[in-house]
Structure 1
Amino acid sequence: MLSVCFALYAPRPAATVQARNMATLREIQLRLKSVSNISKITKSMKMIAATKLNRSQRGMEIARKYGQAASSLFEQAETTAPADAKTLMITVSSDRGLCGGIHSSVSKYTKRAAAVAPEMGIVVLGDKAKAQVGRDVGASVQLSFNQLGKAAPTYAEACAVVDVLRESDVTFDHARLVYNRFNSVIAYEATEIPVYSEEVFKNSAKFSQYEIEDDVLDNLYEYQFANTLFWALTEGHAAEMAAKRTAMENATKNANDMIDRLTLTYNRGRQAVITNELIDIITGASAL
């Protein structure tokens, strides 16, 4: 009976321990291969984002000049919103991810503004910001747009958004256009551009200096609104490409660090297995 109990609780032979070590090494090898593939993917995505960043920066510089010229129209006319003005916030983002917290920047800006002015309406461009804003102030979202950010923004897209806004039930006296301003390759900032309705613009202090007829004013206002929105879209797209490039660069760096650690662990385990096998061979040779 004692011999049976001793046999049941006897330590496992060395072969089982070696088999377990080999299984662990195979798992590390598989994980090492998986992380290496991820590193190749993130490195390729970083290169693609860098190429798109250069292209988007060129388009942003052109759109910024037109947008600033359009915004100066309100500045020269000294346009200000009345105290009882109906305010609308237009949040500019995109549908794409893998670019860090760039969408959270405009979403947090929008939610802070909505907390101060709960009666303010919200229009969201892009599914990413829509999901984030909708969780807290979804009741204030009057209109949303998607299919944005898959390619570089075009002026036709900005005109289409303006047409939908003008044909919808969304009305405003003062619109706050929130977007990610491109400061540098590693820095962006949530900024807003003011846009006013035609009536508010006509009541500006220095509107009479322009001598604009009513039929021309409608076309001028639509052109000004589209230019400002296109400016915000291109700035946000450039900031998104810069953030995506940074995110993929960090992901590649983390993957390479993990590869180094896994390689070191694999080499140590392999060395331990070889050492154990040598000990068994030497022990067997000594016994003979």
Structure 2
Amino acid sequence: MLANAARPALRRAAIAVVSRPAVGALTPAAGYATLREIEGRLKSIRNIEKITNTMKVVASTKLNRAMRAMTESKAFGETSNKVYEEAETKIPQEAKTLIVVASSDKGLCGGIHSALTKATRKKLLENPNADLVILGEKCKAQLQREKSQSIVLSFANVGKDIPTFTEAQAIADQIFQLPKQYDNIEVLFNSYLSPVSYDQKTIQTYSVDSFQESANFSAFEIDDEELPNLREFSLANAVYWALAEGHACEQSARRNAMDNASKNAGEMIQKFQILFNRTRQAVITGELVEIITGAAASEES
């Protein structure tokens, strides 16, 4: 009896829904298509979240190794630069300057390469006649369009693994084989400050003549024939330090970038899951209305 009593009310509600559809209401076909689309997007976002989480774990593992390499290379570089500091070596006026930009070939690490490119452009504004040696394809791609005339040498396949002193020494050998002689070689790289911050730093290396003209050069008992070897060794130490610390910054930035990407993917999954549930409920409600309407129409006939 209760069902018989409620049937007229259900019939009137069904007729009202059919005769006055809500604005933006989905037809059954459109509803099912929308559900399939939302389900496909959810699947894609979940796959992206798995990838970013995996890349975050990999970057965290590599960061520990990179930090150890950075500590070792920094000891080499600081000890080598201490010689020039104690000798009070200075850059001569109107010096020929070469800027070595320590970048890499890999991306997905936030704006770390863009910040290095911005610092390079700033240095070129201060010294427009300076030449560039670029380590890595990322900064090369960003600087080649507007500063191609300043690039005298570039290296690819940089940053694929932990940098070594052998790699830095090979780069220094190629730099010293350039036809132009430079009074000052600056190595520009990303300096590690904390797991979430970094800055751009420059290491100075000087020519043999600049070192000989230092105020305290007489305090060092170095044979003249050993001075070129000292300069090459200092540049190799500087490049090694720059590559190792830049690699640590890159791994830290990549871990942070993948962590943010995973969080964004999680938020998108929640939003699309709510949309999927609401759309599915709307489709079910529409099907129930059709069933009730059909039953009401069959009773009337």
TM-score range, shorter chain: over 0.9
Equivalent positions of 1:128-277 (< 5 A) are 128-277=138-287
Post-superposition shift, 1:225?
A: 1.5
The residue aligned with 1:103 is 113
Choose the corresponding residue for 1:90, options 70, 82, 100. 100
Structure 1 residue corresponding to 2:50, chosen from 15, 22, 40: 40
Q: Retained in 2: the 8 A contact 1:179–1:192?
A: yes
Unaligned 5+ residue runs, structure 1? 1-15
Task: Report Cα offsets for 1:71-108 as digits up to 9, x if no partner.
Answer: 11110100001112111111110010111110111111
For residues 210 and 166 of structure 1, the distance between their equivalents in structure 2, rounded to whole angstroms, comes to 24
C-alpha distance in 1 between matches for 2:245 and 2:208? 25
Q: For the Cα contact (< 8 Å) 2:206–2:231, is it kept in 1?
A: no
Aligned equivalents of 2:202 and 2:265: distance in 1? Answer: 37
How far does residue 170 in structure 1 lie from its aligned partner after superposition?
3.8
Q: Conserved in 1, the CA contact under 8 Å of 2:188 and 2:202?
A: yes
Cα drift, residue 123 of structure 1: 1.1
For 1:267 and 1:171, locate their aligned partners in 2 and report how far apart those are by CA, in whole Å: 69
* Match 1:127 to one of 117, 137, 142: 137
Secondary structure in 2 aligned to 1:157?
helix
Larger Rg: 2
In structure 2, what residue type is equivalent to 1:257? E
Rounded to whole Å, the distance in 2 between the matches of 1:243 and 1:180 is 11
CA–CA distance in 1 between the matches of 2:29 and 2:133? Answer: 61
The answer as to whether partners of 1:98 and 1:244 remain within 8 angstroms in 2 is: yes
Residue 142 of structure 1 contacts residue 170 of structure 1 at CA under 8 Å; is this kept in 2? no
Deviation at 1:34, TM superposition (A): 0.7
| Alpha-carbon distance, 1:37 to partner | 0.4
Q: Deviations over 1:105-151 (max 9, x none)?
A: 11111111112221111111111001111222221111111110111
Q: Aligned equivalents of 1:174 and 1:222: distance in 2?
A: 13
Task: Give distance in 2, aligned partners of 1:166 and 1:121.
Answer: 14
Q: Report how far residue 217 of structure 1 moved.
A: 2.2
How far residue 27 of structure 1 moved from its aligned partner, in angstroms, is: 0.7
User: How far off is 1:19 after superposition?
Assistant: 0.9
Find the aligned partners of 2:180 and 2:133 in 1 and give their Cα distance: 9
Partners of 2:116 and 2:140 lie apart in 1 by 11
The C-alpha deviation readout for 1:229-254, integer Å capped at 9, x for no partner, is 10111110000000000111111111
In the alignment, structure 1 residue 53 sits paired with structure 2 residue 43: no
Secondary structure of residue in 1 paired with 2:27: helix
Kept after mapping to 1: 8 A contact 2:89/2:210: yes
SS at match of 2:204: strand
The 8 Å contact of residues 111 and 136 in structure 1, kept in 2 or not, is answered as: no
* Percent of aligned pairs with the same amino acid: 46
Residue matched to 1:73: 83
Three-state SS of the structure 2 residue aligned to 1:204 is coil
Q: 2:205·2:231 contact (CA, 8 Å) conserved in 1?
A: no
SS of the residue 2:105 aligns to:
coil
> Number of paired residues?
275
Distance 2:181 2:144 in 1: 20
Aligned partner of 1:285 in structure 2 is: 295
Counterpart of 2:124 in structure 1 is 114
Which deviates more from structure 2 when the two are superposed, residues 39-48 or residues 164-173? 164-173
